[in-house]
Structure 1
Amino acid sequence: MATRDAAGLFDQTSFGKLEVSGLEGLQRLAGNDVDRAVGAVVYTQLLNERDGIEADVTVTRLGEDRFRVVTGTAFGVHDVALLRRHGIEVRDVTSAYACYCLWGPKAYRILAKLTGDDLSFGYMKAREISVGYVPVLAQRVTFVGEFGWELYCPAEYGLTLWDSLMAAGSPEGMRPAGYRAIDSMRLEKGYRVWGLDITPETTPLEAGLGFAVRTERKAAMKRPESELACLLLDGERDVALGGEPVRLDGRPVSRVTSGGYGYRVDRSIAYAYLPPDASRVEVGVHGKWIGADVVTGPVYDPAHERIRATPWK
């Protein structure tokens, strides 16, 4: 609720951070087009020869042939090995940088207290700024569906940056928050988690990530027989966490990939791979079958207005 109404401060220092050189190799492995202007942030999957999703990352172009790839906490070693197998030069710099995520409608007001630098750069852009006395790479990216930034600084500045953000944000109602809060909010926005919702066995088209694939690569992909769908369970107290069976017209057809409770929408949410025409299913929770509606698009802020807000105007 603090993140929805004011701001939340999340410590994502554990996320994997990789410094990569070699545009040609990275472009060949990525589904999306990573050959963008310096300062652009690209959301993409790294794909195998069957178009299966081997990694789910953001790629920030820091220079002509210098990129920062950010991946999940547990996936750094996996992704380094993947990139190196494809002849891409990569260096794991996870421990070199702290990362704090400042997300919420008051994020701009909070950060503006600490810097005189221009914060009006757009969504999926990155810029080097100073926050107090701390050098920061600010990336306009979110994993919770609220306005804000990922803020990267050298690890030795981490405590100073955290304390500065807390001092500026606490009077505005900002609260420190954790990964469970992130998981609840990403379910509401339909953001996928690699290893659960998406794997090397699923393609971007099956996962509903076709928007993150460049046109020529998408055209060569096989049309999916099933797609990852969002389910809104009838029972608010019946929460699926993953692995629960899903049946369509009384017939088992799938299992829940991930699920939980969305506190901003007050609904129990789950995801499962289903035929594209499915509209109503049942989910097995706690030994009983719970009805669920199949819905399209994010259940929270479907127009993405909060993410793309311009509070400086």
Structure 2
Amino acid sequence: PYLTAREITIGDVPVLALRVTYVGELGWELYAPAEFGRALWRAIWDAGREHGLVAGGYRAIDALRLEKGYRVWSSDITPDETPFEAGLGFAVALDKGVDFVGREALVAAKRAGPRKRLRCLVLDDPRSVCLGNEPVRIDGAIVGRVTSGGYGYAVERSIAYAYLPPDAPIGTRGEIDVFGDWVGFEVMREPLYDQANQRIRS
């Protein structure tokens, strides 16, 4: 089941298997001692060959997580933003009566309201792909920069994330400077892929 863990053996390798995902698909994260890395790879590769297993790199992971709206540390979320600005307020439990380091700052941030909001932007031109730090403008004024971007293969769209003014709602139109060309975008509701989370729990 989703969000469970189990100690298993793959080939001859002892593995801690976690039923979690950073890509929004049915999957497992496998943890093993580093010295078993090559043996684990071989065991998975050999077993998967008959099922059409292919190797995927980090750009594939990045494309999938963009479609699901999963944030990446140091780009989409940094110490400069609050969880409420990053769209992660649902993960902050301030009403449990438990004290923790940073609680007062989070209470104050929630009370003050967001200074900006991380938004999912879908570009009009699927061939224009953002890599990060591109300027974003709305009504001719620069309002932010792209935190991360890439092409979403399942949704067949170019996706970018950027912090926008907090009052920029879903449906807001604007432009991103992609390699010298201003490309139109629309702010979209996230996630773009599998909004009911059926794939994760399958």
3-state SS of paired residue (2:31) = strand
Counterpart for residue 253 of structure 1:
143
Counterpart for residue 221 of structure 1:
109
Q: CA deviation digits over 1:10-69, x for unaligned, max 9? A: xxxxxxxxxxxxxxxxxxxxxxxxxxxxxxxxxxxxxxxxxxxxxxxxxxxxxxxxxxxx
Q: Distance in 2 between matches of 1:173 and 1:213?
A: 41
Of 190, 213, 235, the residue aligned with 2:125 is 235
Counterpart for residue 273 of structure 1:
163
3-state SS of paired residue (1:184) = helix
3-state SS of paired residue (2:14) = strand
The two structures have a TM-score, normalised by structure 2, of 0.87
Kindly indicate whether structure 1 or structure 2 has the higher relative contact order, using CA contacts under 8 Å at least 6 residues apart: 2
The equivalences for 1:149-188 within 5 A come to 149-188=28-67
Shift of 1:123: 1.7
The count of corresponding residues between Structure 1 and Structure 2 is: 188
- Code of the residue aligned with 2:175 in structure 1: it is E
Q: Distance in 1 between matches of 2:50 and 2:178?
A: 42
Q: CA deviation digits over 1:56-114, x for unaligned, max 9? A: xxxxxxxxxxxxxxxxxxxxxxxxxxxxxxxxxxxxxxxxxxxxxxxxxxxxxxxxxxx
Q: Distance in 1 between matches of 2:36 and 2:180?
A: 50
- Code of the residue aligned with 1:259 in structure 2: it is G
Structure 2 stretches of 5 or more lacking a match?
Answer: 96-102
Shift of 1:298: 1.0
Shift of 1:202: 0.6
Of 67, 73, 79, the residue aligned with 1:194 is 73
In the alignment, structure 1 residue 284 sits paired with structure 2 residue 177: yes
Q: Distance in 1 between matches of 2:191 and 2:32?
A: 31
3-state SS of paired residue (1:221) = helix
Shift of 1:220: 5.1
The equivalences for 1:42-191 within 5 A come to 122-191=1-70
* Counterparts in 2 of 1:286 and 1:266: CA distance versus 1, 3 Å: same
Shift of 1:182: 1.0
* Counterparts in 2 of 1:136 and 1:215: CA distance versus 1, 3 Å: same
3-state SS of paired residue (2:145) = strand
In the alignment, structure 1 residue 298 sits paired with structure 2 residue 186: no
Q: Distance in 1 between matches of 2:36 and 2:83?
A: 37
Shift of 1:194: 1.3
Q: Distance in 1 between matches of 2:12 and 2:135?
A: 52
Shift of 1:156: 2.6
Shift of 1:225: 2.6
Q: Distance in 2 between matches of 1:308 and 1:173?
A: 22
Q: Distance in 1 between matches of 2:140 and 2:108?
A: 35
Shift of 1:219: 5.1
Shift of 1:277: 3.5
Q: Distance in 2 between matches of 1:158 and 1:288?
A: 44
- Code of the residue aligned with 2:13 in structure 1: it is V
Task: State, as a whole percentage, how many aligned pairs show the same letter.
Answer: 62
The two structures have a TM-score, normalised by structure 1, of 0.57
Shift of 1:293: 0.7
Q: Distance in 2 between matches of 1:147 and 1:220?
A: 38
